[in-house]
Amino acid sequence: MSTIPSSPSSPATAARYADCHIHSNMSGHAQNSFDEMLAGIAQSGLAAAIFTEHLPLPLAIDPHQEVSMHADDLEPYVETLRTKAEEFDHTCKRGEARPQLIIGGEADWLNRDPQWSAASVKAARAAGVDVVLGSVHMLDDWFHDDPSRLDVWESSDVDEVWEFYFTEWIKAVRSGLYDVMAHPDLPKKFGYLPADPRPYYVAAAEAAAAAGVLCEVSTGGLRKPCRELYPAQDFLELLASQGVRFTLGSDAHSVAEIGYGFDYAALQLRAAGVDVLHIPTGPIHTSPTITLPL
Ligand SMILES: [Zn+2]
Ligand SMILES: [Zn+2]
C-alpha cells in the first residue's frame, strides 16, 4: 500500500488526468461557488474535467437544497457550463492550457422511487447534461453517508445495510440510466464494514461488467474516516479483472480538492492491472470515451 497523499493535488502531473467528479455550493454543502470552482478547474492543469453538480431531488427529500440543486437551476447550470466550455476551447486554441470541460451531473438512485430516478436523468439529459453519475446516497429515507446520521449506523446491522446498499447499487447499474457509478463502496465511509465484503464486491463487479457501465475511482474516500479510495483495492482488482473501465474523480467540494490524490490513485490502479483511464463524453453506450494512458 502506498502512502496516502498529504498534499491536495500534484500540479506537475495534472495533465495526465481528468477529474470526472466536481461540485460547487450550488447544492448547498460545498465550500466554493460555481464561479470559483470553474476558475479552479481552469487553473488546474488537468487534461479534462467533468462538472457534476447534484441533480435536483424531490422537494420532500431536500426541501432547502442542501444536497441537490433546485430544479430551476438545471437549465442555467447547463447553459453556463456550455458557455464556459466554449471559452476554454477558444483559449486552448490560442495555446493556453485549459482542460476540456464536460457537462455532467450526479444523480441519486432512489430505491423507493425508481421511476423518479429515471425521470430525473431524462430531464437532465434533455436539458443538455452529457454525462450522468449514478449514486446510492439514500437507503429508504436515510442518507447513509451523512455524518449527522451516524445514529442510524449505530442502531443498524452493518451486514444488512451493505446488503441493502449493494442490492440497490446493482439495480441502479442495471437500470441503464447512468454512465458512471460514483464512489462504488460508499457505505464504508465511516468505517462500518461487514464481516466479509467480498460477496458484495463480486456481485457488483459482475453486474457492472455486464452492463458496460464505467466505475469511478474516487479519491474522496482518502479525505473521509475510511482513509482509502472508493473502491477498496480488493474491489478495484475484481472490477478490473471483469474488464470494467474506470474514471478518476476527486468528488471535490472545494477548489483545493480538485485533482486531489490522483498520483496515489494512479499507483493503486496500476497495481490492480489497470493501464488506462476513461473520460465519458456523453451517454456511455452511444458516445466514445476519451482515453488517458496511466
Ligand atoms: Zn456522491
Ligand atoms: Zn459527488
The tens digit of pLDDT for each residue in 9-51 reads 567 789 999 999 999 988 778 889 999 999 999 999 999 999 9
What does the pLDDT look like over 123-150, one tens digit per residue? 999 999 999 999 999 999 999 999 999 9
C-alpha cell recorded at residue 136: 446510492
- Separation of 39 CA from ligand 1 center, angstroms? 22
Would you say residue 6 lies in a domain? no
- Separation of 135 CA from ligand 1 center, angstroms? 6
Report the pLDDT averaged over residues 251-264. Answer: 95
Would you say residue 8 lies in a domain? no
Domains in the chain: how many in total? 1
Would you say residue 11 lies in a domain? no
Would you say residue 1 lies in a domain? no
What does the pLDDT look like over 169-188, one tens digit per residue? 999 999 999 999 999 999 99
Would you say residue 171 lies in a domain? yes
Q: What are the backbone dihedrals phi and psi of residue 226, each rounded to the nearest 5 degrees, phi first?
A: -65, -25
What does the pLDDT look like over 56-97, one tens digit per residue? 999 999 988 889 999 999 999 999 999 999 988 888 788 777
CA distance 24 to 51: 9
- Ion ligand 1 residues within 5 Å by Cβ: 135
C-alpha cell recorded at residue 209: 461488467
Ligand nearest to the CA of 252: 2
Ligand nearest to the CA of 29: 2
Ligand nearest to the CA of 138: 1
Write the Ramachandran bin of 236: left for phi over 0, alpha for psi from -120 to 50, otherwise beta: alpha
Host domain of residue 27: 16-293
Contact 124, 105 (CB under 8 A): yes
Ligand nearest to the CA of 23: 2
Nearest 5 degrees, angle CA 264-CA 53-CA 190? Answer: 50
- Separation of 199 CA from ligand 1 center, angstroms? 23
Contact 98, 49 (CB under 8 A): no
Would you say residue 185 lies in a domain? yes
Peptide bond into 231 cis (omega under 30): yes
Ligand nearest to the CA of 21: 2
Would you say residue 111 lies in a domain? yes
Q: Residue 1: which pLDDT band, with cuts at 50, 70 and 90?
A: very low
